[in-house]
Amino acid sequence: MVDRLGVEPNGSRCQTSIGSHCLAREWGTYHAWKAGKAYEDIAGFCKSTKLDEIKSHGYVLTPGRYVGAAEVEEDDEPFAEKMQRLTTELGEQFAESAKLEAAIRENLNSLGFAAKSWL
């Protein structure tokens, strides 16, 4: 089983844009598994699953159930510092967003299209 969730940043679970680098990894993994050479399970990406295990899950074929989750890199930044950094960054992004919104409204008004408030 191969779990594509989180593999490609574009799209969603229903609509995905597959890049050639992802396809190469998936095809390489599949062919290694099929040939029985140089294949290994990779947490969060792929796992060779036996029929007994699939049966024990009621034949549910959701890859994440078998593949599991990839190891997450530990974050050494203290929570309070991280929240301060992130809220400062968010404030800067809000300010930039407000500038862009004002510029868009001004451009629309100059074209004769009054942009009403959407909220």
Domain boundaries, the chain: 1-71, 73-119
Radius of gyration of the CA atoms of the chain, in A: 23
pLDDT at 103: 94
DSSP structure class, residue 16: B
Cross-strand bridge partners of residue 16: 11
Q: Residue type at 12?
A: S
CA 69 and chain centroid, separation: 13
pLDDT in tens, the chain (119 residues): 666 665 555 555 555 566 667 788 888 888 999 998 889 898 888 899 999 999 999 999 988 889 888 877 888 999 999 999 999 999 999 999 999 999 999 999 999 888 776 65
pLDDT for 90: 98
**pLDDT at res. 97:** 97
Task: For residues 28 and 18, give the distance between their C-alpha atoms in angstroms, rounded to a whole number.
Answer: 15
User: What are 46's strand-pairing partners?
Assistant: 2, 42
CA distances in angstroms from 76 to 35, 47, 49, 71, 73, listed in the order given: 41, 30, 35, 15, 9
